[in-house]
C-alpha cells in the first residue's frame, strides 16, 4: 500500500477529516487563528443559534401539527356521522310515507 493512501494520512478516504462534513466542522470551530475574521465567528454563532432554535422548536411544531390533524379528522368524522343519520331519518320518513296507513282497530 502506498504511503499516501495509508489510513493515518490526511488524504485517505477513510480519514474523517477528509469528508465534507469534517471540513465544514473544522471551518466552523472557534480557534485563535489570525485568519479567522470576526464575521466568521459571528456567522458560526448565528448558525449555532439557528440550529438550537430549530431543534428546540421541532417538538412544538410536531405537537401542533398532530393536534391540527386530530381536530380535522374529528370534524370530518362528525360530519360523516351526521350525514349518515340524516340519510337514515330521510329514508325512514320516505318509507313511512309509502306505507298505507292502517286504520286502528279499537
**How does pLDDT run across 44-90, given as a tens digit for each residue?**
889 889 999 999 999 999 999 999 999 999 999 988 888 777 666 66
Which alpha helices (H) appear in 7-37, and where do they start and end?
20-28
- How wide is the angle at C-alpha 70 spanned by C-alphas 69 and 76, nearest 5°? 90
- Asked if residue 103 belongs to a domain, the reply is no
pTM of the model: 0.48
- Asked if residue 22 belongs to a domain, the reply is yes
In which domain, by residue range, is 84 found? 11-98
Q: Which residue has the cell 474523517?
A: 16
SS3 content of the chain, % helix, strand, coil (to 5): 70, 0, 30
Amino acid at each position: 500500500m502506498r504511503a499516501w493512501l495509508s489510513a493515518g494520512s490526511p488524504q485517505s478516504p477513510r480519514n474523517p477529516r477528509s469528508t465534507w462534513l469534517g471540513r465544514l466542522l473544522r471551518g466552523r470551530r472557534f480557534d485563535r487563528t489570525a485568519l479567522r475574521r470576526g464575521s466568521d465567528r459571528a456567522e458560526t454563532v448565528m448558525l449555532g443559534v439557528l440550529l438550537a432554535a430549530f431543534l428546540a422548536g421541532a417538538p412544538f411544531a410536531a405537537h401542533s401539527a398532530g393536534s391540527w390533524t386530530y381536530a380535522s379528522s374529528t370534524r370530518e368524522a362528525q360530519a360523516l356521522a351526521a350525514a349518515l343519520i340524516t340519510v337514515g331519518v330521510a329514508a325512514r320518513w320516505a318509507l313511512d310515507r309509502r306505507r298505507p296507513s292502517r286504520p286502528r282497530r279499537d
